[in-house]
Amino acid sequence: NAGVTQTPKFRILKIGQSMTLQCTQDMNHNYMYWYRQDPGMGLKLIYYSVGAGITDKGEVPNGYNVSRSTTEDFPLRLELAAPSQTSVYFCASSFQGAYHSGNTIYFGEGSWLTVV
């Protein structure tokens, strides 16, 4: 079972460039999430989705966009990359709403993004 797979693992972007972090899960989970992890700070929720066609903002959505056209895929788009977006990004999923039901969240291995 692959679980949650995200690509690329590493990427260096120049300021102003755009890119998409890909995320796919094979567990048929309805809920998917994007987090960022910065040194000295806890994980912060960027966007989440409760099912195909439905997305919503998390705590730190500015500078990002998402889409959820299928249950499996939840790409994160960075428009006009800025140094403040240098971070480690984690895609995650859960069977039901982890925040309301306490369901386990399954994480991908992370994507290290540097904006220079």
Partner 1 sequence: AQSVTQLDSQVPVFEEAPVELRCNYSSSVSVYLFWYVQYPNQGLQLLLKYLSGSTLVKGINGFEAEFNKSQTSFHLRKPSVHISDTAEYFCAVIDIAGNNRKLIWGLGTSLAVNP
Enter the tokens of residue 30.
């309805």
CB 112 within 8 A of CB 6: no
Q: Does residue 4 belong to the site contacting partner 1 (CB under 8 A)?
A: yes
For the segment 63-102, give every residue that binds partner 1 (CB under 8 A): 90, 92, 98-100, 102
Q: Which of 1, 14, 28, 42 touches partner 1 (CB under 8 A)?
A: 42
d(CA 100, CA 83): 34
Of 64 and 90, nearer to partner 1 (C-beta) is 90
Of 78 and 98, nearer to partner 1 (C-beta) is 98
Of 14 and 100, nearer to partner 1 (C-beta) is 100
Of 55 and 94, nearer to partner 1 (C-beta) is 94
Q: Does residue 15 belong to the site contacting partner 1 (CB under 8 A)?
A: no
- Containing 101, the helix (H) or strand (E) segment is helix 98-101
Exposed e or buried b per residue across 1-29, where buried means at least 16 C-beta atoms within 10 angstroms of its C-beta: eeebebeeeebebeeeeebebbbbbeeeb
d(CA 70, CA 100): 23
List interacting residues with partner 1 (CB under 8 A). Answer: 4, 40-43, 45, 59, 90, 92, 98-100, 102, 104-105, 107-110
